[in-house]
Structure 1
Amino acid sequence: MAPLTSPCFVKRISPSPSGPPARRPQRQLTYVSPDSTRPQSSSWPTLHFATKGACMTRLTADSHLTVSFDVACKRRYDYVVLGGGGTAAAFVTGVLARRPTARILVLEQGSFLLPSHVQNLGVAFQPLMSAAAATPWRSEGELDLVSQVPFLGGRTLVWSGSVPEPSRDHLRRWPESIVDDLDDHWEEARSWLGARPATSLAAEFGSLHEQLRDRVFDVSRRNPHLLTPRRPEELDAPLAHPEDASGMTSKFSAIGPLLRAASEAPAFDIVTSCFVEQLVGHHGSITHVSTSLGSLDIGDAALILALGTSEATGLVLRSQNTVDAGHAGRNLAANSASFFMCRIPRDAFAGLSTEGPELAALYVDGRTEQREFHLHVSAVATTDRDRDLERVYRLMPDMFGDETPALVTDENHVVLIVHGLAEIAGKGSAPDASRIEIDSDITVGRFHLDTADSEAWDSLDECADQILDRLSGGASIEYWERTSRTWVSRLESRRMPFAFHETGTLWMGNESSGAVTDEDGRLRGSSNVYVLGGAAFPTRGSWNPFLTMVALSRRLSRTLEQSHMVSG
């Protein structure tokens, strides 16, 4: 999935405690609104945020869309899904499309926060893009594990919407049977997400987009590290913006499909504010899940881990007395990142509209000899900030950072947001592999970049500079310096301290390869635990993984429902 890119993440895990691990404490979310100094609390991690210039109230889902933990304990389910984010929504809706009466329970660690993607709700909600993040783990390697969004909908509440489809070459180190199966699900995944090129979203992706696209295409033909598409249009960023009944598009978030399923499916339940602590069972079969609300007997249900990579891996490692974790936690792969904002005088681009904003969104693929990388290049041009701010906010792929809405609506410049991601490769079960571990019940991430990883990051930065030189046409370029909060002619650092799109720690494959899960994603040594999301990826490139996660979720829903039909 697309990363959280705000530089405002705060580590909230103290150094490893001594002595025996204590039971995970009840966590509190504290929210401060501008009209009140009294914190309001509900369960989950400690967060502090204040809206800027607007009074904001935490939204509450209708009670009929969720059930209590006590009610769920009295029911029997076909599937118990851990996690209420994008992969959970893809799996649930895939099952319900085949069998509308399927009995499904989703256990979500957080509460209900928003009814849609934060950019669909207007710029007043923008501070939530960083404030809704939490970091319930520790990092001890060269890069930190990125934050989670612990609310129903997960990271899809704030993501960029980027949904590139990896080629078979991108997946060349995946088991062939999985890649063949994915060919049956790409179209289904694109349709569900509303995937479309940026130019089909709105008329605002017009002259500026075409000018930038043509210049980037020219650079790609001359730079051996950039993959040259067959035609410039293939540089259009693929974005997830499904249409509503009126034909209007909005940025995809999993919260919509989940709440629709909760209101329409007769046997689909959601329990929120329920943190799963451990899996319990015997002889490889999980029979109970231990949660912050108590123990849940799952009966004969299939248990679906639709959690983020760090969360799923931590849960498996905490459950080693019940499940054979094997090499769980190794093979950690991710993306290093260089993010920055810059501006070029408006007159460096001809024929830009003054009647409304002009936007651009490009996806540029690159590769070194051993690694992959890519660049997202987004841009805004406007002559009237007050008129265009809301429209720009709703359509731009990336609007992270509290200052971003004001900065990108510069009436005298074209402002570019450049996000580059480079591959950090996993190393399977090798002893020197980057990994996720458990230390006194705390999840710990350890990233170690090798020479090839570092070379890819260097190449990414070099390509970004070459692209900007061509885009500016010789005009001056200024960069936003976050620390001094000023525009400068040279940026000292663009590299982020976080590793994004973490994957691979519960990877799929055959047993001889040391894979933690089989080619269906079933945890080895377990008869009823399946892993979805990035944790199950055999390898990682640089492409945004969410479309692939959705396709894998639909693949598993088909596989398990076919088994259900056979077993009767």
Structure 2
Amino acid sequence: MDNVFFISSTEWKKTRAEKQFDYIVIGSGFCALGFVERILKKDANARILIIEGGSFFLPEHVQNLPCSYQKLLLKQALKTFPWTLSSKTINRNKYIKWQHGIIPFFGGGSTLWSAWCPEPTTEEMKGWPQATIKAAQDYFKTAKMLLNVVGANDQQTGKIFDHWQNKLTERLKHNLQVIKSATRVEHAQIAVGTPTITSTDVEKFSTPGPLLDEVIKCQEEATKSQIDSRLSIVTECKVTRIWQQENQATALETTRGVVNVGESKVILAMGTIPSTTLVLNSFPQAKNAGKRFTAHFISAIVARIPREDFLEIFDWEESIKDDLRAKKLQLAAIYLAGIDQETQGQYHIQLSAISDPDPTNKTHIDTAARNMPDVVATASPKQLETSKDYIVLVCAVLGELFDNPGNGLEKNNLDDPTTNVTLQVLETDKDLSLWDTMDKATFEVIEKGLSPRGKDRVEYWHGDPDTGQWERERSKIRVPGLVHEASTMWIGDDQEAVVGLDYQLKGVENVYITGASLWPTGGSWNPTLTMVALAQHLADNLTEQARETKT
């Protein structure tokens, strides 16, 4: 890989000693791609170095690969946890016990994510600066284009989302008033579009392919013009500290030697906790870094409703109904947002529906594995095999970890500067109130919003996904692991904010922050679309600055 796409060991010595870059990007996930692709498009002279701490592992999203690769999702096999949980987090909480880890490879979490990309409303960005809300809204369109985001009802998702997708979404919209806390429902927006190829399957988006495409384009351009390539990537190179003089980053200490920053701008495009850890170890003037922490807690609810109950009320031709009864695998993906009126905490439901009358058919198994809306929250083989005459509903329900001064990330006394932080997350009454509200809403969605004949026709899965059973009694699992960590270096125009509206780390002239660490409040919506939108905005801002400097 080094000989084709990445900097080899020999080239790396030369790069560190001789080459100058306009931008040094740390990380290779969504924000790195959003920033780099935009810079290369807007500035024909920009030179970029990407530094990735991990090695190359998966070439694309795990769902686009043979089914056997999905075993990697089990038991957090690929994740690392570069932090220590506080004793209070472990001992005091009833439900929350840990924070999901990071994927320490080229492409980061993009090779294993759910790909759901809702566009938050202005109301859902509560507590955000108006300028940042506007920036996100201005760039949602270009972010969607980059990530190939389409509605689950779009023709690009193929015929597998053809029938149940529209009917179930329409039914839920019609019955929205019976879900007391709900605010909106829509076809799920998912990064699965296939704009450049004709395919019968969805293609989950990930960053390795697009980043390597940019490398190849720059290499071909360099060969043609007899210049050095404008984009270079080094892997297996962890940045452990950023050295500074007079409030300006001057050098990066890495596991593969020191990199001089020179006139470069440094872009932190890692995950929330790794980027904050780097700041805590490098810039003592960033006094509020880590003082805020938000994330999403999760409930998992799996239910089923007899297929025939829906076929009796939906106005399809009999031939279509016969296909759905006997042989046709169909999926649906629906997004419903809501709010707890008492606390104003936000939640949303990611609802995946699976109708499979022949679940042991190998073609169905492989097709479902590739096309399932959420590879993490999906029905197990046992759940499907026992539901040939049912619609199985898998609900991943996410709530925002509410504002709590007791939550945060702080530096500890451990020696390794890539892991020497302690994370504290404490449940509050507000969190538990929201959790109750979103669980109640999910049962309302299933029993009142969707089930044509009410709650008596609904069954819930109890026990382990592979050994449990269906029962009439309601069942929910409050998942102990948090996801979508955010807010550790929040953006704002006030003195308390860690990052200014220009994305610059306050007190450091040439370091810029991307990603969900910028979030003033977490909301409940999946963060990726907004992360990429703001990374693109930063790229355009810096491109314009560079243009003004040259003139």
State the TM-score, normalized to the length of structure 1: 0.83
CA distance in 2, matches of 1:312, 1:493: 34
CA contact (8 A) 1:211 1:349 kept: no
CA contact (8 A) 1:329 1:435 kept: yes
CA distance in 1, matches of 2:407, 2:171: 38
**Match for 1:293: what amino acid?**
R
Aligned to 2:375: 399
Is 1:139 aligned to 2:121, yes or no?
no
CA distance in 2, matches of 1:457, 1:336: 8
**Match for 1:301: what amino acid?**
S
Which piece of structure 1 moves more, 285-294 or 552-561?
285-294
Offset from partner CA, 1:160-184 (integer Å, 9 cap, x none):
1111111111224211122222232
Which piece of structure 1 moves more, 337-346 or 141-150?
337-346
Aligned to 2:183: 227
CA contact (8 A) 1:162 1:240 kept: yes
Tell me the secondary structure at the aligned position of residue 274 of structure 2.
Answer: helix
- Relative to structure 1, the CA distance from residue 563 to residue 545 in structure 2 (aligned partners, 3 Å threshold; closer, same or farther) is same
Match of 1:507 among 490, 493, 502: 490
Structure 1 residue 398: Cα displacement: 1.3
- Relative to structure 1, the CA distance from residue 209 to residue 526 in structure 2 (aligned partners, 3 Å threshold; closer, same or farther) is same
Aligned to 1:190: 144
Is 1:379 aligned to 2:344, yes or no?
no
CA contact (8 A) 2:462 2:475 kept: no
**Match for 2:250: what amino acid?**
T
CA contact (8 A) 1:481 1:491 kept: no
Aligned to 1:467: 445
- Relative to structure 1, the CA distance from residue 415 to residue 484 in structure 2 (aligned partners, 3 Å threshold; closer, same or farther) is closer
Is 1:159 aligned to 2:108, yes or no?
no
- Relative to structure 1, the CA distance from residue 62 to residue 115 in structure 2 (aligned partners, 3 Å threshold; closer, same or farther) is farther
Structure 1 residue 491: Cα displacement: 6.2
CA distance in 2, matches of 1:480, 1:122: 30
Aligned to 2:204: 251
Aligned to 2:390: 413
- Relative to structure 1, the CA distance from residue 295 to residue 449 in structure 2 (aligned partners, 3 Å threshold; closer, same or farther) is same
**Match for 1:124: what amino acid?**
S
Offset from partner CA, 1:443-477 (integer Å, 9 cap, x none):
22111232222211110101111222233433241
**Match for 1:359: what amino acid?**
L
- Relative to structure 1, the CA distance from residue 182 to residue 288 in structure 2 (aligned partners, 3 Å threshold; closer, same or farther) is same
Tell me the secondary structure at the aligned position of residue 4 of structure 2.
Answer: helix
Match of 1:286 among 249, 252, 260: 249
Is 1:325 aligned to 2:269, yes or no?
no
Is 1:536 aligned to 2:536, yes or no?
no
Match of 1:498 among 481, 486, 489: 481
- Relative to structure 1, the CA distance from residue 407 to residue 274 in structure 2 (aligned partners, 3 Å threshold; closer, same or farther) is farther
Match of 1:212 among 168, 173, 191: 168
Match of 1:170 among 124, 138, 148: 124
Structure 1 residue 210: Cα displacement: 3.3
Q: Higher helix fraction: Structure 1 or Structure 2?
A: 2
Tell me the secondary structure at the aligned position of residue 362 of structure 1.
Answer: strand
- Relative to structure 1, the CA distance from residue 360 to residue 300 in structure 2 (aligned partners, 3 Å threshold; closer, same or farther) is same
Match of 2:424 among 430, 434, 446: 446
Is 1:520 aligned to 2:507, yes or no?
no
Aligned to 1:148: 102
CA contact (8 A) 2:153 2:166 kept: no
Structure 1 residue 289: Cα displacement: 1.1
CA contact (8 A) 2:381 2:466 kept: no
What does 1:30-109 align with in structure 2 at a 5 Å threshold?
Answer: 61=1, 63-68=3-8, 69-74=12-17, 75-109=19-53
- Relative to structure 1, the CA distance from residue 182 to residue 211 in structure 2 (aligned partners, 3 Å threshold; closer, same or farther) is closer
Offset from partner CA, 1:204-251 (integer Å, 9 cap, x none):
21332234324422442122201145xxxxx21011123242343511
- Relative to structure 1, the CA distance from residue 373 to residue 176 in structure 2 (aligned partners, 3 Å threshold; closer, same or farther) is same
* RMSD of aligned Cα (Å): 2.1
Structure 1 residue 107: Cα displacement: 1.0
Aligned to 2:234: 271
State the TM-score, normalized to the length of structure 2: 0.85
Aligned to 1:116: 60
- Relative to structure 1, the CA distance from residue 326 to residue 76 in structure 2 (aligned partners, 3 Å threshold; closer, same or farther) is same
Aligned to 2:336: 364
**Match for 1:236: what amino acid?**
H
**Match for 2:60: what amino acid?**
S
CA distance in 2, matches of 1:407, 1:440: 47
**Match for 2:244: what amino acid?**
G
CA distance in 1, matches of 2:257, 2:388: 56
Structure 1 residue 262: Cα displacement: 1.5
Match of 1:477 among 459, 464, 469: 459
Match of 2:214 among 261, 264, 272: 261
CA contact (8 A) 2:459 2:474 kept: no
**Match for 2:347: what amino acid?**
F
Q: Which runs of 5+ in 2 are unaligned?
A: 219-228, 312-320, 415-419
Structure 1 residue 402: Cα displacement: 9.9
CA contact (8 A) 2:492 2:499 kept: yes
- Relative to structure 1, the CA distance from residue 358 to residue 307 in structure 2 (aligned partners, 3 Å threshold; closer, same or farther) is same
CA contact (8 A) 1:221 1:228 kept: no
Aligned to 1:565: 547
- Relative to structure 1, the CA distance from residue 414 to residue 167 in structure 2 (aligned partners, 3 Å threshold; closer, same or farther) is same
Is 1:203 aligned to 2:159, yes or no?
yes
CA contact (8 A) 2:382 2:467 kept: no
CA distance in 2, matches of 1:353, 1:195: 31
- Relative to structure 1, the CA distance from residue 213 to residue 511 in structure 2 (aligned partners, 3 Å threshold; closer, same or farther) is closer
Offset from partner CA, 1:55-98 (integer Å, 9 cap, x none):
xxxxxx46320103424313211111111111111111010111
Structure 1 residue 426: Cα displacement: 3.5
Tell me the secondary structure at the aligned position of residue 360 of structure 1.
Answer: strand
CA distance in 2, matches of 1:334, 1:250: 27
CA contact (8 A) 1:521 1:531 kept: yes
Q: Which runs of 5+ in 1 are unaligned?
A: 1-60, 230-234
CA distance in 1, matches of 2:402, 2:44: 40
Structure 1 residue 354: Cα displacement: 3.6
